[in-house]
Amino acid sequence: MRLAAVLATVIALVTAPVFAASVGFEEVKIPNGDELPLTVGIWYPTDAPATQHALGDISQVVAPDAPLAGYDLPLVVMSHGGGGSYSGHNDTALALAQAGFVAAAVSHAGDTFDDQSRVLQPWLRVVQLRRLVDYMLGAWPGHARLDAQRIGAFGFSNGGLTVLVAAGGVPDLAAIGPYCEAHPEHDLCAALKHAGVDVHVGSDVPASVWTHDPRIKAVVVAAPAFGFAFSRAGLNGVHVPVQLWRAAQDRHQPDPYYEEVVRADLPRPPEYHVVENAGHYDFLPACGASMARNRPDICTSLPGFGRAAFHEQFNAEVVRFFRTTLR
């Protein structure tokens, strides 16, 4: 009995959550082939004291450029939504780092708030995410303290498509044309029409442009863009665990053409969450004052929905999922 008790204690110590005393943060530039470097934010466990620091329109409690704490740390790479930046899910990144993960988020060149020149070339996002993993496992000064066998990916909206493809998915952008012919009033189709973009633009995109990253072992997908462009065949290559989120009042990506298609066609059932009374942008954290004034469409939730309270639950579920799947 005494030996059993000792073994139980050892197992508990090995598997118990490791929480950081503090969170370190750094912004770096990483290689992007022949193009300009990509901007990346990295959150990680540290023992250094953290203080309040500005991050764009918001602030975060971090220790800038502090020493990394811990060994064999799991890594989560993060992909923001269309027109966003690496800081778009800073609260989730902070929660992951506090739980003992390293979280690295990339600003996707060509699909950020200040450059939307390649928004309809989402396959480039997947390449950029792969380059982020390459950097974290190679050139990043703390790479030797990462566990290369425990890598997850988080993505919202366009980032949701990005991580599904990285995990093995192949969307068919030729589906945009028929979708918009049937639903011209939907946001995607109205936006393409307003921008003067031919809805049949995806017809010339070969399946070979979509690349995958087998190093990614689990993905969290919130409100994936172009969900209708996937199919059972297109998702047949996704064999890693998936946590899938849908906002019940998502008017930007109306049900059942996005998350429901993904949920139904994944080869193994995802862990599925439907957030009542939430809109598309409620997966973003509460806005800073300037953003709230300039982009009420992104920052305003439906009456009765508490975005800050939801994010506490959301981040806890994301951490739990990665802790469970990246063993």
Same domain, 130 and 246: yes
Measure the CA–CA gap between 216 and 237, rounded to whole angstroms. 13
pTM: 0.93
Phi, psi values for residue 289, rounded to 5°: -60, -45
Q: How many CB atoms lie within 10 A of CB 216?
A: 21
Residue 35 lies in a domain: yes
Same domain, 165 and 178: no
CATH code of residue 218: 3.40.50.1820
Please give the DSSP secondary-structure letter assigned to residue 67: P
Residue 238 lies in a domain: yes
Residue 232 lies in a domain: yes
Same domain, 167 and 178: no
Same domain, 280 and 167: yes
Same domain, 76 and 200: no
Residue 11 lies in a domain: no
Residue 189 lies in a domain: yes
Residue 194 lies in a domain: yes
Domain that holds residue 52: 17-171+210-325
Residue 152 lies in a domain: yes
- pLDDT tens, N- to C-terminus, the chain (327 residues): 343 433 333 333 344 455 667 999 999 999 999 999 999 999 999 999 999 999 988 899 999 999 999 999 999 999 999 999 999 999 999 999 999 999 999 999 999 998 988 988 999 999 999 999 999 999 999 999 999 999 999 999 999 999 999 999 999 999 999 999 999 999 999 988 888 888 888 888 898 999 999 999 999 999 999 999 999 999 999 999 999 999 999 999 999 999 999 999 999 999 999 999 999 999 999 998 889 999 999 999 999 999 999 999 999 999 999 999 999
User: Are 227 and 259 in contact, with CB atoms under 8 Å apart?
Assistant: yes
User: Are 254 and 111 in contact, with CB atoms under 8 Å apart?
Assistant: no
Same domain, 276 and 159: yes
Same domain, 182 and 235: no
**Total number of domains constituting the chain:** 2
Measure the CA–CA gap between 65 and 68, rounded to whole angstroms. 9
Please give the DSSP secondary-structure letter assigned to residue 308: H
Domain boundary pick from 152, 184, 205 = 205
Same domain, 142 and 33: yes
Residue 9 lies in a domain: no
Same domain, 167 and 185: no
